[in-house]
A and B are shown apart, each in its own frame.
Chain A
């Protein structure tokens, strides 16, 4: 069996393992073992990938396998394979699932069901990243989306039914566009195949077809990537979701959007991207600045973070649309970086909320004194978010900016400078939050009795911080791995 299929098999086994569990301890055991196994596999995959790459430096996808046919009439195959980018995304997913498991250590009520849905979601995510067949990809994409409805609707807080419905409907709307686009690609590919590597090899799609398929697929994935003006599911969805779901959703699921955009929309339809890309470039440019300004005015911690995600994910799509190697490298790095740090943010917000029972920044203050560990972690996450060198955000953003600046025309320059200016706005809202909730005098005397992080929370946050700092200090190998994966640009 192909090693990649293990990434689907292990979560499925976990699902089976959950069935006989009777109490939360057993559920945790299964969840942690599964997540650790996944992480080990992901790390192993990275090394195997390097080994394989040394043997076979030319193939685009390694561990390639399209021998299993699903549905013969439409030539749908279970085609899998990875390049450096997918390997990194898989690594990111496994890290976030593991830390997410620790962050939802005391899930209540129905821990078993919660973890089962979460695991099902991870099946979808892993499947998406290893698939090369667009139909299979779409299939996994939907598997990843649907559990979200239940996870938010059942275990969420606040207006959870509304948010869950909104999120699901908007993302489904995106899916509808997407499936039309995919079918369009299928019939226009000339070889009646869903395999995008094959299609790209075969010479792509005629330009007339590209003109309508490109907007469809880009928008379809863009909704998940929080493209303005289809981002409004994100603040509500994140605000209502339970901690681990927010982490996974902002950390990994939103990356599916960017990943899909660049794998399918940009890869298969470069000419249309050239022609129509400017429309989306303007939209993403707006996303970046608009999200950041939106975040300043918010008072709920999760809303702030959701808007900041809109801004950062906007930057991912922005860089993808710049269509050059450096910007694209930056885009993938930004996906990783944003995934890690936003997961960290949501984990911390969840922990703070779990103690204080409020996320309103007006009711919080002086937490540094009460919970120094969590507060320092929060400051670090904030610094990563505003792009401090040595943490992950900086390297990603700088790569994007330098890449975007390669375009010498005024249009791209102006947009780039607009996007660059977001780093100041980010600093404003991050420092506003840090100054308000962590520093200053303690506002609520009840908070004085609260305790700092316990061991499983420390594992979750410290693990993410190590990753964020590691990426920020040694970005070279990640950058090279990504660059080598896009030889066609």
Chain B
């Protein structure tokens, strides 16, 4: 396990994060935006775990933060999905910028 360098782990999380950013910025479908958001959050969680494991192996704070992050992500996803479903029920579409403009202004 220890032979895997920290940089490799960080590279993966960075890739994940920017994939999330890209998806967040480019996708119009709200579900996809949500998925991208999850990607970013998970990348951050991964970072927490990795830094904890490599830099402060005797402590657990990083792990806790990762757990918190997962819990928050779950709650947030639940709310977001609920909103999206409601929007879908009202306007039958879930594309950003196209039909959900009534809430603007």
A and B touch in the complex (CB under 8 A): no
